[in-house]
Structure 1
Amino acid sequence: MASEPIDEIWHPSDALLTESASRKLWLVKVPNFVAKRWKACCDHSVQRGEPTGRKLATLRLVQAPDEAGAAKTQYQLQLDATVGQGIPHDYVMKNSTKFADPMLAFSDKGGQLAAEGKVWQKFDCEVARRTAPAAAGGGGSGAAGSAKVVLDPEYRKLSRQRHQAAAVKTRTVQYLQDTKLVGAPSTVQIGQKRKEVMEKRDRMDASQLTSILFRLFEKQPRWSFPQLQKDTAQPTQHLKEVIAEIAVKNPRGPYKDLWELKKEYKASGAEDPPAAAQQQQQQR
Structure 2
Amino acid sequence: MNSIDKTTELTGDDSRDQLMDQSVVDLSCLSRNVWLIKVPKYLSKRLENLKPMQEIGKLVMNLDDKQKGLNQVLWKLSPKLLSSADTDCGGGGVDDKENQQQLMSPTEHIITFASVDNQLMTVFSENTTETNETRIEGTVVKRGDCRPRESTSYLDFQRLRAKRADKTLRPVIQLDRSITVFKPISGHSSTRTGSLGPRPEIKCKYDKPVVKNMLFQAYEKHRYYTMRDLERLTLQPLYYLKEIVREICVYNIRNPHKYMWELKPEFRNYKK
Mark yes or no: TM-score above 0.5: no
Q: TM-score range by the shorter chain?
A: 0.3 to 0.5
- After TM superposition, the score normalised by the length of structure 1 is 0.43
> Bigger relative contact order, structure 1 or 2, given CA contacts below 8 A and separation 6+?
2
